[in-house]
Structure 1
Amino acid sequence: MTTSVIQLEGLTCPSCVKKIEGVVGKMRGVENVKVLFHAQKVKVTFSQEQIIAKEISEQISKLGYSVVGEK
């Protein structure tokens, strides 16, 4: 398992957190997802054999949030 931290812009309310956690949490290979609202970050644990961090970032972008970096 790999953990990635994705820096975002555009989180404005708690429903944003639920939206991201719900969609990303259902992606194949994702074991755990936690949105850190005040830090504007998403911490994701996933299997690199099934998914890559870029796919997760792209999905978050499709939800309308700006991805500004990955670690």
Structure 2
Amino acid sequence: MEKAVLQLEALSCPSCMQKIEAAVKSVNGVDKNSIKVLFNSSKVKIDFDAAVTSIEDIQQAIENVGYPVLKTKVKAS
């Protein structure tokens, strides 16, 4: 498993968090229990299996629901 932190544009409402969480959950290979959407810092923290999905796929899922990803950071756990 790899750990990733994605920096998003400022989140403006709590329902944004639910949309982002649902988008990330829809990506195969993401550990559904690891998803944390941090409203105040506009970050998403997740664990994912790099053999199943890529950080680009996760980033695309978030951008597809309308939230630009500014930066991603991945480190092997």
Q: Hey, what's the Cα distance between the residues in 2 that align with 1:49 and 1:3?
A: 13
The TM-score normalised by the length of structure 1 is 0.93
Cα distance, 1:15 vs structure 2: 0.4
Cα distance, 1:11 vs structure 2: 1.4
Dislocated runs of 4+, deviation >6 Å: none
Point out where structure 1 has 5 or more consecutive residues left out of the alignment.
none
User: 1:36-47 to 2 correspondence within 5 Å?
Assistant: 36-47=38-49
Point out where structure 2 has 5 or more consecutive residues left out of the alignment.
none
Cα distance, 1:26 vs structure 2: 2.5
Structure 2 partner of 1:66:
68
Larger % of strand: which? 1
RMSD of equivalent CA atoms: 1.0
Identity of aligned residues (%): 42
